[in-house]
Amino acid sequence: MKLLKTLLSAALMLCMLLSLVPAAYAEDDPRFAGKSWDEVVADFNTRLGIGEHSAAYGYRNAVTGEEHYFNPDQYMVSASMYKVPLNMAVAEKVYEGEISFETLIGGLTYRQLQEGSIIHSDNEYARVLWNYVGYGSYRSYRRYIAPLMGEDADTVDPQYYVNNFFTPRQMIHCLTELYDNQERYPGVIDCMKRAEPTEYFRRSERRYEIAHKYGYWEDQTLHMNDCAIVYTDEPILIVCFTDGLHNAYQVLAEFCTLMCDYAQYELDHRQPAEGAAELALRDLKLPRLIAQAEPGLSVPEPTPTAAPTLTPEAAAPAVAVSPLVWIGIALLFGLLFVFSAFGRRKLRRKRLLASVLSLLLALGTGGIAVMDLSPAAHGGLVPAMSVSTVLPFLGHPDPQESVMSFFDALELDNYEQFYAMLDGYSSLGLEAQPDDLLGAMTFNALRSSYSYHLEGESRVVGDRGEQDVYLRSLSIPALEQALRERAETELARLGNERTYRELCDEEGFYRPEIVQEAIDSAASDVFSRASEYYADHSFTLQLIYSDGWFVRGDEALVDAVQGN
């Protein structure tokens, strides 16, 4: 029977944190250290001379949901940024199967209209599309795209319909919908990646791929804007509106770089969430021995009737002797009396003494036989005879020597002898060492932890025996708890010493090698002092006689031996 199972390998891979970070941002950056997003943006505005209402920004981490705004609900001229939700509205019709990219709209295929309006920002192409969506009505087109902007067309601020206005919050909602459900809007992000490769947000930022849609409109005032999905290690969604700024190009370019750096800095300096270490180790389990009797035991199964309850106060080691044996002894002494008293020779004083003694012994053993045959004897009311009062061949031997042999075999890893004396189980799993290192360490710590001594003398009634035993063994649950706590401490230490990207993978979980490093360090410490997790067990061992004494594998014994 295979009893110990390797439980650790898969469990160590499970756990929770957030995502990975680049090592390039491991050092503190004075632009961000100890500052909130609002404070970072305030410094940016001050440095570039941006007035309170001459710009509006939005930021969202597409992975964590972190979201920030400057003038979040201020309506600003969006210029050509409106072509993003416009094309989303038409592209969704492709996804739903209403049209295809080769469908003609206003004499051009939708593929031509999509690429022309987004990549080349062609206003006439865009007009064809909003007339198609709004059935020739600009207001109807604006109503149609309102849900994409996170608005109810009937309750949205009336300013929404006045001009080509959007707010930072509306544009971030639109980009979030596009990023989270990009399969519903085929071609849109691809065209945004191909749009204007060297200006606006992409003027100086070359580290990351950017899918953007810029906007430029000048009447009496210059309106220069951009919105984008920037593929930093955790992609971010950003929008920047400007109104009348003479340095608008610089503002757009530097805002994009600032937000990229902020996202990377936050990612690198993010601390593990509270309880993350516990989650990472939640499935950590040390091997458990599984008690299960197998068919074909070499030792007889225990009989269904329970053994008589013996009192610890019973006298010296006792053996049970059959009533027929007592009758035979009585007859023997009776014959001795006859030959002593009625031999051919004259009765002498010595023969008289022997005759009297034989008669007394015959009467005594006969009385014992009668008592042992009585109902009272079977009720356990007659105390068992001490081993010291009868000859060994008259009954079962003292079980104490068998008990000592049983536990000696356990201490010496002699499992053949141990199992041969165990009634009810063919194995307790002690002979099957796990394959994984931690399981093997636990297994060996358990096997080296056994020590025992016997309390008092054994007691016997019939073919049943008892022996009070004190057994010390490793407590695997206590060791497991200590290992978990130590590993959590190690994960916390590593969290303070490593960057976030070093700690976590792209899915936001602790890297397996980080968890394993914490486990290894914890195991080295905990197993070096395994004796601190020994447990003392005191119980009464039950035995049954069948051509020798066998130990009954009851719950107390099995738990103690298996370290439960």
What would the pLDDT profile of 467-493 be if each residue is shown by its tens digit? 999 999 999 999 888 888 888 888 888
Core vs surface per residue 278-303: b (16+ CB within 10 A) or e: bbbbeebebbbbebebeeeeebeebe
Q: State pLDDT tens for residues 109-119.
A: 999 999 999 99
Q: What is the CA radius of gyration of the chain?
A: 44
Decide if 483 contacts 526 (C-beta within 8 A): yes
Cβ pair 191, 118 in contact under 8 A: yes
What's the rounded mean pLDDT across residues 496-515? 79
Helix and strand counts by DSSP (H, E) for the chain: 21, 16
Mean pLDDT of 76-90: 97
Q: How confident is the model at residue 344 (pLDDT cuts 50, 70, 90)?
A: very low
More confident position, 320 or 328: 328
- Token couple for 100: 């295809």
| E strand or H helix that includes residue 403 | helix 400-411
Place of tokens 């902020």: 262
**Among 400, 396, 420, which Cα is nearest to 410's?**
420
The pLDDT value given to residue 396: 75
Largest CA-CA distance found in the chain, in angstroms, rounded: 157
Give the closest residue to 425 by CA, choosing from 548, 309, 555. Answer: 555
Quickly list H helices, 457-538: 476-497, 500-503, 512-528
Chain centroid to Cα 141, Å, comes to 51
* Beta strand 422-423 pairing with 549-552: parallel
pLDDT at 282: 66
Which residues does 189 contact at the CB level (< 8 Å), separation at least 6? 178, 179, 182, 211, 229
Q: What are phi and psi of 462, to 5 degrees?
A: 60, -130
Task: Report the run of H or E that residue 188 belongs to, with start and end.
Answer: helix 188-194
Report whether pLDDT(346) > 80: no
Q: Is the pLDDT of residue 352 over 80?
A: no
Residue 315 is predicted with a pLDDT of: 36
Task: Tell me whether residue 123 is exposed, middle or buried, using C-beta atoms within 10 angstroms of its C-beta: 0 to 12, 13 to 18, 19 or more.
Answer: exposed
Q: What single letter denotes the amino acid at residue 132? A: Y
Residue 125 host element (H or E): helix 123-134
CB atoms within 10 A of CB 33: 10
Q: Tens digit of pLDDT for each residue in 91-133? A: 999 999 999 999 999 999 999 999 999 999 999 999 999 999 9
Nearest to 519 by CA among 449, 434, 435, 437: 437
Check if the beta carbon of residue 508 is closer than 8 Å to that of residue 18: yes
Lowest mean per-residue pLDDT among 162-166, 245-249, 263-267, 386-390 = 386-390
Give the closest residue to 423 by CA, choosing from 301, 555, 561.
Answer: 301
Question: Looking at 286-290, 358-362, 385-389, 549-553, which range is the least confident one?
Answer: 385-389
- Choose among 503, 449, 457: nearest CA to 476: 449
**Most confident by average pLDDT, 144-148, 319-323, 343-347, 548-552:** 144-148
Short-list 409, 431, 526, 552, CA closest to 474: 526
CA–CA separation, 184 and 179 (whole Å): 10
Mean pLDDT for 540-559 is 89
SS3 content of the chain, % helix, strand, coil (to 5): 45, 15, 35
Matching residue, tokens 């020597």: 401
Q: What pLDDT is attached to residue 338?
A: 54
Contact at 8 Å (CB) between 213 and 83?
yes
